[in-house]
């Protein structure tokens, strides 16, 4: 192990220590009045009830998948470490969601109370609480990665084990005769599978959270606001607590699990690509294989330390204006990004990464900023597209929908072009023109660079929902209007700073998925080696013969390639991964379809779950005396339970489809079909996700723009049309859109984990 690697576990533990410090400092603040405490407790109870049930259902799914993976490992079509790696990925992701939610639900009343003192005080409480989430996510993700890396490299793949092999319970944990180069590939591809656990948990958290939050939101709005005519966040509305719980489970727990998966996925995929760099490429660049593998982890570790520095840079005077606060937040996030670039310069000088990889990271960061700004342009009411939707609302709901869809669709061009240029730029900057493997390594590294300061960018993302909940608490507790104005200001601040964070999240998801597809091919190569070893020492695929040590005799027209030096292009050629292969083309179509089918399933799920909530709220208004007079207490817990049950029931089908389809395609259409599926899923899913997120955001802000007093303001015909647009956009931006990025990566992760089965079946 390299001595500098020690920074990785130290930084991850440091992150957790600071998460604890931030949590304790947040807890020292008062929760305010008894009413504020009471409401916060309702939300806390609801959130924990949701998580308990969610983890129960997800736990069952994990146990089933663990057994299936263990059976596959027994039949030698699966790495024996995978079942355990899968569980740890899911466990830490779930733990992050739990701790993030716990912090957020403790923070809302405290933020509201802080806002009653000053805007700065409110910001400090909300931001430090968001920082807990940020630190917990990066801390546990890197700790899990570091622990696995150390365990596999120092305990499992010891020199003695590599010579003699390790066999236990009939399973081959280490093959006898494993070389140093194979060791790194084995370690990184094993670790990559822990990403499947994280992705599976993330998909459940995002889909479940998305369904929950929208079911509660629609239920609260349709019956409470529209039928009974009571305002939002009114304690007389039985669904209002569920609505506030929903903000936590969707925006905090869901987002935390999502970014945990992105963060871990980008590091693991890049490490796997680093391990696969051919010796000739390493020789040219002057870095060794261990450096190529550990560099993304070291960059992530530096990112954690710089994120902590950035968090402490967010300081203002007590009398700070909103502009001061915004500048302070931008200084924190921008400052840590600049510092990470300087750290990368240091690593490049030290020879840990190439200058080309440094260039790839710069390109990645630039792409993230551009995507974030484009998102802001298409969804903020300060710019033409959203104002245009509001303008169209004067004609009625139909034109509002048409214009919103058009804005969402046109909003895809900047992110897509940016990602295309980013992929090409990172590929070429890293040296892809001369060495393909270096190019894709650069693409992976660009994603790692974008997410390296996730500790602080997630803090700015998560503090928005906390401020939003604080506003709800202030509303229900009937605090002074000044307090609500401040919590609203904090919420707006969160939306502004989150724009760049979103850009990084979206951009890194595309780049990571791209890197993961390349890593999948590495997994295929690994299984070629294992299958060849278990047979005659070589395998034949298409016009290629892949061999381990000794090249067999080849017929005319056949090409013999040593597996350890086989390039991705060789593997792709052996499976005929071209547009003229119906398996690949069919896979492309299926991948594109998956993005749409998955979105449809999640949107339908919201509709059904919301229906149950509507019935319950109506029942309570009908049967509980004195609700509207404020003398009767609604049964908040019933609504929380209905949303929870609905979310659990409805999240299963879309999530299982995302897991099963890649397995079925792999088994029936082979590697070409899987690559087609992943490429189709990535391109269609990415574009559809941008479309849905931006259309939903633009509809929401167009409605708010009208409510600010434009085109007739609240109660006007334009407002009614705006509300229709916002309602259509809700499941777009809060359920289906955010889940698509995870769908893309989960399908890739499942394919990686199931590569053994796919390759084995394709060779039969």
Partner 1 sequence: MKNHFYLVATPESLIASHLEPFEFGNYLAVGTKKNLRSQSVFFELDAEKLDLPDEYINHKLVTYPDGEPKRSVYLSIYRVFETTPLDALLNLYLVTDDGKVLEIKCQAFTTTSEKEIHLYQQYNPFTTQVASKLSPPEFIQFLTDPEKPVSVPKVFFVELRLNELAHNPNAPLNNLPYRNPAHLRECLMRLEQSSERLTKTVLRERKSELPYRTIKSGFYIGAGSDFLFYPFPPHEELESTYFSWWRSALVQHF
Q: Is 557 in the site for partner 1 (CB under 8 A)?
A: no
Q: How far is the CB of 333 from partner 1 (least distance, A)?
A: 34
How many other C-beta atoms can be found within 10 angstroms of the C-beta atom of residue 278?
A: 18
Rounded to whole angstroms, how far apart are CA atoms 181 and 212? 47
Taking the least distance from each CB to partner 1, the nearer of 556 and 629 is 629
Per-residue mark of binding to partner 1, 422-461 (x: CB under 8 A):
----------------------------------------
Taking the least distance from each CB to partner 1, the nearer of 221 and 522 is 221
Taking the least distance from each CB to partner 1, the nearer of 576 and 707 is 707
Alpha-carbon dihedral of residues 125, 127, 132, 133, nearest 10 degrees? Answer: 130
Q: Is 723 in the site for partner 1 (CB under 8 A)?
A: yes
Structure tokens at 346: 């240091």
Q: Is 116 in the site for partner 1 (CB under 8 A)?
A: no
Q: How far is the CB of 628 from partner 1 (least distance, A)?
A: 5
Structure tokens at 32: 């305010």
Rounded to whole angstroms, how far apart are CA atoms 32 and 109? 7
Q: How far is the CB of 639 from partner 1 (least distance, A)?
A: 16
Taking the least distance from each CB to partner 1, the nearer of 271 and 627 is 627
Rounded to whole angstroms, how far apart are CA atoms 379 and 525? 44
Q: Residue 480 CA to chain centroid, in angstroms?
A: 37
Pick one of 378, 711, 741, 759: the residue that binds partner 1 (CB under 8 A).
711
Pick one of 53, 161, 604, 720: the residue that binds partner 1 (CB under 8 A).
720
Q: How far is the CB of 230 from partner 1 (least distance, A)?
A: 4
Q: Is 714 in the site for partner 1 (CB under 8 A)?
A: yes
Q: How far is the CB of 228 from partner 1 (least distance, A)?
A: 6
Pick one of 110, 183, 530, 719: the residue that binds partner 1 (CB under 8 A).
719
Tokens 């569980």 sit on residue:
87
The candidate with the shortest Cα–Cα distance to 157, out of 191, 179, 190, 183, is 183
Taking the least distance from each CB to partner 1, the nearer of 389 and 723 is 723
Pick one of 28, 170, 323, 481: the residue that binds partner 1 (CB under 8 A).
481
Q: How far is the CB of 621 from partner 1 (least distance, A)?
A: 5
CA angle 225, 226, 230 (to 5 degrees): 30
Beta strands in 623-670 (DSSP E): none
Pick one of 154, 318, 478, 536: the residue that binds partner 1 (CB under 8 A).
478
Q: Is 715 in the site for partner 1 (CB under 8 A)?
A: yes
Alpha-carbon dihedral of residues 129, 134, 138, 141, nearest 10 degrees? Answer: 80
Q: How far is the CB of 240 from partner 1 (least distance, A)?
A: 13
Task: Give the C-alpha distances (Å, rounded to integers) separating 319 from 120, 316, 463, 466, 742.
Answer: 7, 8, 20, 22, 41
DSSP codes of every residue in 611-628: HHHHHHHHHHHHHSTTTT
What part of residues 596-655 is at the interface with partner 1 (CB under 8 A)? Answer: 621-622, 627-629
Residue 172 backbone phi and psi in degrees, to 5: -90, 100
Per-residue mark of binding to partner 1, 213-232 (x: CB under 8 A):
------------xxxxxxxx
Taking the least distance from each CB to partner 1, the nearer of 569 and 708 is 708
SS3 546: strand
Taking the least distance from each CB to partner 1, the nearer of 382 and 478 is 478
Taking the least distance from each CB to partner 1, the nearer of 38 and 234 is 234
What part of residues 231-250 is at the interface with partner 1 (CB under 8 A)? Answer: 231-232, 234, 236
Rounded to whole angstroms, how far apart are CA atoms 576 and 335? 47
Number of residues that bind partner 1 (CB under 8 A): 31
156 contacts: CB under 8 Å, gap ≥ 6: 81, 166, 173, 174
Taking the least distance from each CB to partner 1, the nearer of 266 and 469 is 469
134 contacts: CB under 8 Å, gap ≥ 6: 307, 311, 454, 455, 456, 457, 458, 459, 462
In 384-398, which positions are buried (b, 16+ CB within 10 angstroms) versus exposed (e)? ebbbbbbbbbbeebe
Rounded to whole angstroms, how far apart are CA atoms 677 and 661? 9
What part of residues 15-54 is at the interface with partner 1 (CB under 8 A)? Answer: none
Q: Is 488 in the site for partner 1 (CB under 8 A)?
A: no
Alpha-carbon dihedral of residues 45, 50, 52, 53, nearest 10 degrees? Answer: 140
SS3 117: helix
Taking the least distance from each CB to partner 1, the nearer of 398 and 660 is 398
Residue 147 backbone phi and psi in degrees, to 5: -65, -45
Taking the least distance from each CB to partner 1, the nearer of 384 and 534 is 384
Pick one of 38, 704, 717, 761: the residue that binds partner 1 (CB under 8 A).
717
Classify the C-alpha dihedral 305-495-264-512 as positive or negative: negative
Q: How far is the CB of 705 from partner 1 (least distance, A)?
A: 12
Taking the least distance from each CB to partner 1, the nearer of 389 and 595 is 389
Let me know: does 657 contact 473? Beta carbons within 8 Å.
no
Taking the least distance from each CB to partner 1, the nearer of 38 and 232 is 232
Q: How far is the CB of 699 from partner 1 (least distance, A)?
A: 15
Q: How far is the CB of 716 from partner 1 (least distance, A)?
A: 3
Q: How far is the CB of 140 from partner 1 (least distance, A)?
A: 41
Taking the least distance from each CB to partner 1, the nearer of 251 and 475 is 475
Q: How far is the CB of 695 from partner 1 (least distance, A)?
A: 22
Q: How far is the CB of 703 from partner 1 (least distance, A)?
A: 10
Per CB under 8 A, residues contacting partner 1 are: 225-232, 234, 236, 475, 478, 480-481, 621-622, 627-629, 709-717, 719-720, 723
């Amino acid at each position: 192990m390299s001595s500098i690697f020690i920074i990785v576990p130290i930084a991850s533990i440091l992150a957790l220590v600071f998460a604890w410090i931030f949590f304790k400092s947040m807890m020292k603040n008062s929760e305010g009045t008894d009413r504020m405490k009471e409401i916060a407790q309702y939300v806390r109870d609801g959130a924990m009830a949701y998580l308990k049930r969610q983890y129960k259902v997800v736990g069952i799914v994990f146990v089933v998948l663990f057994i299936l993976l263990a059976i596959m490992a027994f039949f030698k079509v699966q790495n024996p470490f995978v079942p355990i790696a899968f569980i740890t990925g899911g466990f830490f992701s779930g733990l992050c969601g739990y701790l993030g939610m716990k912090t957020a639900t403790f923070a809302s009343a405290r933020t509201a109370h802080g806002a009653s003192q000053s805007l700065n005080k409110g910001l400090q409480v909300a931001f430090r609480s968001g920082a807990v989430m940020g630190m917990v996510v990066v801390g546990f993700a890197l700790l899990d990665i570091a622990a696995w890396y150390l365990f596999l490299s120092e305990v499992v793949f010891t020199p003695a084990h590599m010579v003699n092999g390790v066999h236990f319970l009939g399973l081959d944990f280490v093959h006898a005769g494993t070389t140093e180069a194979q060791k790194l590939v084995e370690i990184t591809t094993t670790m990559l599978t822990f990403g499947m656990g994280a992705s599976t948990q993330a998909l459940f958290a995002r889909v479940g959270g998305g369904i929950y939050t929208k079911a509660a939101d629609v239920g609260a709005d349709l019956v409470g606001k529209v039928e009974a005519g009571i305002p939002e966040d009114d304690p007389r509305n039985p669904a209002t607590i569920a609505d506030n719980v929903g903000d936590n489970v969707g925006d905090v727990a869901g987002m935390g699990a999502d970014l945990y998966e992105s963060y871990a996925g980008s590091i693991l995929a890049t490490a796997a690509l680093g391990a696969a760099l051919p010796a000739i490429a390493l020789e040219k660049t002057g870095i060794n294989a261990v450096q190529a593998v550990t560099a993304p982890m070291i960059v992530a570790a530096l990112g954690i330390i710089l994120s902590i520095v950035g968090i402490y840079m967010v300081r203002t005077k007590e009398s700070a204006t909103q502009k001061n606060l915004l500048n302070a937040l931008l200084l924190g996030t921008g400052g840590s990004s600049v510092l990470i670039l300087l750290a990368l310069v240091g690593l490049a000088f030290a020879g840990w990464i190439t200058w080309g990889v440094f260039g790839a990271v710069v390109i990645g960061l630039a792409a993230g900023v551009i995507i974030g700004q484009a998102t802001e342009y298409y969804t903020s009411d300060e710019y033409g597209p959203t104002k245009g939707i509001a303008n169209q609302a004067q004609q009625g709901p139909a034109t509002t929908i048409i214009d919103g869809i058009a804005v969402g669709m046109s909003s895809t061009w900047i992110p897509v072009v940016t990602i295309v240029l980013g992929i090409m730029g990172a590929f070429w900057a890293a040296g892809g023109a001369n060495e393909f493997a270096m190019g894709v390594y650069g693409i992976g590294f660009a994603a790692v660079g974008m997410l390296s300061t996730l500790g602080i960018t997630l803090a700015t993302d998560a503090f928005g929902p906390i401020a939003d909940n604080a506003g709800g608490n202030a509303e229900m507790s009937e605090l002074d209007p000044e307090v609500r104005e401040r919590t609203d200001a904090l919420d707006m601040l969160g939306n502004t700073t989150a724009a760049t964070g979103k850009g990084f999240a979206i951009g890194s998801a595309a780049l990571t998925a791209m890197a993961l597809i390349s890593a999948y091919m590495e997994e295929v190569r690994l299984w070629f080696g294992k299958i060849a070893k278990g047979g005659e020492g070589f395998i034949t695929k298409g016009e290629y013969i892949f061999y381990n040590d000794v090249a067999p005799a080849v017929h005319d027209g056949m090409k013999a390639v040593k597996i350890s030096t086989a390039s991705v292009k060789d593997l792709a050629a052996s499976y005929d991964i071209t547009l003229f292969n119906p398996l690949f083309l069919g896979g492309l179509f299926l991948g594109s379809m998956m993005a749409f089918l998955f979105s449809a399933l999640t949107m339908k799920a919201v509709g059904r779950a919301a229906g149950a909530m509507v019935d319950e709220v109506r029942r309570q208004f009908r049967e509980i005396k004195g609700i509207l007079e404020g003398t009767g207490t609604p049964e908040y817990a019933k609504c929380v339970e209905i949303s929870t049950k609905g979310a659990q029931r409805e999240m299963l089908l879309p999530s299982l489809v995302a897991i099963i389809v890649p397995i079925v395609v792999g088994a029936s259409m082979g590697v070409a079909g899987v690559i087609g599926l992943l490429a189709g899923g990535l391109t269609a899913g990415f574009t559809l996700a941008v479309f849905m997120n931006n259309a939903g955001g633009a509809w929401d802000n167009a409605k708010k723009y009208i409510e600010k007093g434009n085109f007739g303001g609240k109660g006007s015909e334009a407002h009614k049309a705006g509300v229709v647009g916002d309602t259509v956009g809700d499941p777009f931006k809060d359920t289906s859109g955010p889940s698509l990025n995870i769908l893309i990566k989960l399908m890739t992760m499942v394919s990686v984990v199931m590569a053994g089965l796919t390759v084995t079946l394709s060779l039969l």
